[in-house]
């Protein structure tokens, strides 16, 4: 365990605004990627300027920043990686998440003051490999998603106390072993191991018999359909006691391509669950219905406990669809209050004057209010907010705080 006997809550951030939301909604640390050399190339990611501001903002609020440099590098990547590591040395994040041994060695030479964490992409499935990385200077290992809690407890028992263990506890699951997938590169030329995965595991497949080209035969799995690679999402919110007793130092949330609403929802729910359990396990048990309700308010593909309690079965797959369940629409993050007392946001999805919306607050409250009026940045009245990324000013009757989230139930 880390500070105060609690595990670290490690939250993803796709961009600067989402980082600030993560910080305000309970993260102990955030993990982010730069424009290059991370495994989420389609995320917005951070420019050098945004990364510098994000690190300053997080540190001012007592939150750490981990930066992904976890591609599996080719020869032509190495010169650029070296320059990037030099830049990161100047920016001063708290840790680098690395999978490639060559990049790991370069980071130790170029910016030795920054902790090096071993990415799940390095296939960390046993304590001996974790010990190997520790002996080379690693501070933390991110376990493979294929490990059970029993295996993680065994790993903890064999490692030095100052070697930290980080594990994913929530988010999308990859059908391939520790995320090492060749399907995307094969079908589209976009390499999953260099951050450009097109998620072919979510596509619909059929079988073609060699002598009957063009005749597609559906793949059926117990009459559930044809999405044979489509995994449910990992969720361990109901199993915090088992996670706490496993020896995991950092509870990691997947989602560097997700919205601020997703980040706020998951961060707030796990923050409260961890704090409640550490205060009194009985309080955690009492609040389980609230955790279940809240965690289902963000986009998800039904839930599974993954490999934590043994090998997943057909019940952990979704065979009839590749769509998300979405109960709320994300309207925007509160940027501030204007001189008239109206709420300022960058609008993300359409809503109307008269709609009932919710103000989602970090402490756990969800305040339902009516949209009384909408104005554009020039003060012109609007009946609706139809244009994404438009700055709008909203009369909600009350004044929310910066980085509160505005959302609306789908049935509204």
Question: Could you tell me the CA-to-CA distances from 359 to 137, 278, 366 in Å, in that order?
Answer: 45, 28, 6
Q: How many helices (H) and strands (E) does the chain have?
A: 11, 20
Domains for the chain: give ranges and CATH numbers: 3-175+231-316 (3.20.20.70), 328-409 (2.40.30.10)
Residue 224 scores a pLDDT above 50: no
* Percent of the chain at pLDDT exceeding 90: 66
So what's the pLDDT on residue 306? 82
235 beta partners: 170
Q: Encoding tokens for residue 316?
A: 């952990």
Q: Find all residues with CB under 8 Å of 378, minimum gap 6, and list them.
A: none
Predicted TM-score (pTM) of the model is 0.85
DSSP 8-state assignment for residue 181? -
| Coil, strand or helix at 254 | coil
Check residues 304 and 182 and name the one with the higher pLDDT: 304
**CB within 8 A of 50, min separation 6: which ones?**
15, 16
Q: Is 80 exceeded by the pLDDT of residue 183?
A: no
Mean pLDDT, residues 60-78 taken together? 94
pLDDT tens sequence across 19-34: 999 999 999 999 999 8
Residue pair 131/118 in contact by the 8 Å Cβ criterion: no
pLDDT in tens, 129-176: 999 999 999 999 999 988 999 999 999 999 999 999 999 999 876 666
For residue 187, the model assigns a pLDDT of: 73
Question: For 98, what's the count of Cα atoms within 13 Å in the CB-facing half-sphere?
Answer: 24
301 has a pLDDT exceeding 70: no
∠ CA 370-373-379, rounded to 5°: 150
| pLDDT at residue number 389 | 87
Which of the residue ranges 62-66, 83-87, 285-289, 314-318 would you say has the lowest mean pLDDT?
314-318
Comparing 156-170, 248-262, 359-373, which segment has the lowest mean pLDDT? 248-262
Alpha-carbon span 103 to 121, nearest angstrom: 13
325-363 pLDDT, tens digit each: 678 889 999 999 999 999 999 999 999 999 999 999 999
Burial class (CB in 10 A: 0-12, 13-18, 19+), 24: buried
Give the pLDDT score at 180.
Answer: 63
């Amino acid at each position: 365990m880390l500070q105060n006997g609690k595990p670290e809550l490690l939250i993803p951030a796709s961009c600067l605004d989402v980082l600030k939301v993560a910080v305000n909604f309970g993260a102990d640390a955030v993990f982010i990627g730069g424009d290059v050399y991370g495994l989420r190339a389609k995320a917005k990611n951070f420019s050098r300027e945004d990364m510098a501001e994000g690190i300053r903002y997080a540190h001012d609020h007592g939150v750490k920043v981990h930066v992904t440099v976890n591609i599996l590098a080719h020869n032509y990547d190495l010169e650029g990686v070296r320059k990037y590591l030099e830049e990161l040395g100047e920016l001063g994040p708290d840790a680098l998440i690395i999978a490639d041994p060559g990049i790991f060695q370069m980071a130790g030479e170029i910016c030795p003051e920054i902790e090096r964490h071993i990415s799940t992409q390095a296939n960390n499935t046993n304590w001996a490999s974790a010990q190997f990385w520790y002996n080379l200077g690693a501070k933390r290992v991110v376990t493979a998603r294929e490990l059970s809690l029993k295996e993680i407890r065994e790993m903890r028992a064999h490692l030095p106390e100052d070697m930290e263990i980080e594990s994913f506890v929530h988010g999308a699951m990859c059908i391939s072993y520790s995320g090492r997938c060749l399907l995307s590169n094969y079908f589209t030329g976009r390499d999953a191991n260099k951050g450009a995965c097109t998620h072919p595991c979510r596509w619909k497949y059929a079988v073609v018999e060699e002598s009957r080209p063009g005749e597609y035969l559906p793949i059926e799995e117990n009459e559930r359909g044809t999405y044979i690679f489509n995994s449910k999402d990992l969720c361990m919110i109901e199993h915090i006691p088992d996670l706490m007793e496993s020896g995991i130092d950092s509870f990691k949330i997947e989602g560097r391509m997700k919205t601020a609403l997703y980040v706020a929802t998951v961060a707030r729910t796990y923050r409260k669950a961890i704090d409640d359990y550490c205060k009194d396990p009985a309080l955690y048990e009492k609040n389980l219905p609230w955790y279940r309700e809240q965690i289902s308010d963000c986009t998800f593909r039904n839930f599974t406990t993954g490999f934590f309690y043994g090998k997943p079965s057909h019940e952990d797959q979704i065979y009839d669809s590749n769509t998300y369940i979405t109960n709320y629409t994300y309207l925007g993050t509160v940027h501030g209050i204007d001189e008239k007392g109206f709420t300022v946001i960058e609008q993300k999805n359409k809503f109307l004057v008269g709609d009932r919306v919710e103000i989602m607050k970090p402490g756990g409250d969800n305040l339902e209010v009516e949209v009384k009026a909408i104005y554009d940045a020039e003060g012109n009245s609007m009946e609706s907010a139809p244009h994404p990324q438009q700055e709008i000013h909203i009369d909600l009757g009350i004044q929310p705080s910066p980085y509160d989230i505005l959302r609306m139930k789908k049935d509204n």
